[in-house]
Structure 1
């Protein structure tokens, strides 16, 4: 494929997910990524160092940008990988670029796509179950991938954009699949994040420790409340009941990520804001709207918010 025919992809959010995706897609697309100055300087000088399940290599074919004035004027695709609490601010900043564009969200939590849909023409929702880390400036590692990336049309008329995105990501060697009900997929992915991540962040433990019998009751209540909210909201997942999901959580997901610390843990340790308002906080908010009691989700969200402010 010649350089002129390669699709132009703009990635907004240069953490572990965004930089890894930029590096993977650089071989099949012309990629621009909004980078922090420290990452941008290193990538421009030395290239992006990638390690892990997405390949070990140095990638130099990435354009690092500092703001919308440096962004491609008409990208074929925009992918937002930023933290969910920054979604609206990013959409406001890049509103002129997003207007009428196809925008994909590869972000944790629930609710990002609703915000993006206010600015974009076609919105594609997505989930990623790969464990990423930023090793250093311009250096990322994809530690493990327990299942394929999932993408689905959230809003807008352009289903062809979804098929093109899936084909592009697959051509970069990344496992990916398209689904008809991306809302179900987003909630399904969030179940792991809201049931385990806050507890690991609060207690400074890896995911495997969440299987401790002394923690299971709390996790069971969080999941049961979430399933009640999903049922009231008409959301269905692959697990018919909270018990079915809990069986899967402790037999498959927790062992798969046993030695990993969730991103929320690193956020707390670094004194950064977390995505709790798009996880347990979102469940609590939807529960209030639907008349469903969610004391465990509300409590865990308040505890994380306290840690965000008061740190260790």
Structure 2
């Protein structure tokens, strides 16, 4: 089984470590050519709550072009980049697609909503699967990732009702390599669950610069999160999206009792992006809710306000050195 990871960030590094442990042949494609020297001298290192794993440099192959990727013709393509890179990746894969020996399975690992629909502009819908990742990662260096928190297994499934059998070997390899993973027939509801979780926590955690648990302890941020949930459920009902909960109240009960405690010490990846002056995923999160709400005439003022504040923070000039 050959797998290519596009976008060797925190998620990509962690999945690579799992797949190597399971004996999967790995390759990478990223924006940096040649790759960071740390990959070619030290390999990949994973630490954290699922233990240590390493991928030696000689086990890493880096593609420099889409045609080079097609010539290898991997079984799976794991797209682990940020959402803002999806158009570039989609167009690149479209150019390479006729040259694959057989059509690979594409797995989208981004937070948020709308990525499947975007990718179908360039690739066949039945070859695209989504992954719901509700695990926290922290990169100490370009080639090192720490698994910091874990709320549930990675779920992989199809929004196009494609069969799950083709992804089961990948799911089993990831699980055997150290991070729980399973094929899901309810991937839409799974993705919506992650969307809810991210919309409530990511922007507030980034703006307040506090861990998730603190947001749940403070009355003012609880009120904001509850308003966000109410708006999101109104949009989901209007658009006919599937969820695991019948109402915002039922979701919030589960959120405070089951979902928030395991990640209470986690800091928002959006805060990490703002600190590093990288684009955030706000348009795929609260921005997606605002757009869906506008299409159905559902007001989403709190989601809109957070989206506006994060976009303002993204455009903030770098701090002057002290």
* Greater Cα shift, 201-210 or 157-166: 157-166
| Larger deviation, residues 257-266 vs 40-49 | 40-49
Rounded to whole Å, the distance in 1 between the matches of 2:54 and 2:182 is: 27
Name the residue aligned to 2:29.
34
Report the count of equivalent residues: 306
My pick for the range that moved more, 174-183 or 102-111, is 174-183
For the residues of structure 1 that align with 2:172 and 2:193, how far apart are their CA atoms?
23
Is 1:216–2:222 an aligned residue pair?
A: yes
Instruction: Show the 5 A alignment for 1:35-114.
Output: 35=30, 36=32, 40-60=36-56, 61-73=59-71, 74-98=73-97, 100-114=103-117
Secondary structure, counterpart of 1:94 in structure 2: helix
> 1:228 pairs with 224, 234, 237, which one?
234
Q: How does 1:117-266 map to 2 (within 5 A)?
A: 117-121=120-124, 122-155=127-160, 157-211=162-216, 212-266=218-272
- Contact 2:67/2:96 (<8 A) preserved: no
Verify the 8 A CA contact 2:18 2:175 in the aligned structure 1. Answer: no
1-side partners of 2:268 and 2:262: how far apart?
Answer: 13
TM-score for the superposition, normalised by structure 2: 0.89
Contact 2:150 2:263 in 1 (8 A): no
Shift of 1:272: 1.1
Alpha-carbon offset, residue 123 of structure 1: 1.0
Partner deviation per Cα, 1:147-206 (whole Å, 9 max, x = no partner): 111111222745431233323323323311222121111111111100111011011111
**Residue-by-residue CA offset, 1:253-304 (whole Å, 9 max, x unaligned):** 2221111101001111111110000000000000000111111111110110
Structure 1 residues 31 and 72: CA distance shift in structure 2, 3 A: farther
Change (3 A) 1:38 1:56: farther
TM-score by length of 1: 0.92
8 A Cα contact 1:130 1:146, kept in partner? yes
Q: Does 1:13 align with 2:16?
A: no
Structure-2 separation of matches of 1:23 and 1:159? 23
Structure 2 Cα separation of the partners of residues 85 and 91 of structure 1 = 11
Partner-residue secondary structure (3-state), 1:174:
coil
- Equivalent residue for 1:270? 276
> What runs of 5+ residues in structure 2 fail to find an aligned partner?
none
Extract structure 1 runs of 4+ deviating beyond 6 A: none
Name stretches of at least 5 consecutive residues in structure 1 with no aligned partner: 1-6
1:4 corresponding residue in structure 2: none
Residues 46 and 52 in structure 2, CA contact (< 8 A), matched pair in contact too: yes
**SS of corresponding position for 1:296:** helix
Root-mean-square deviation (CA, aligned residues, Å) is: 1.9
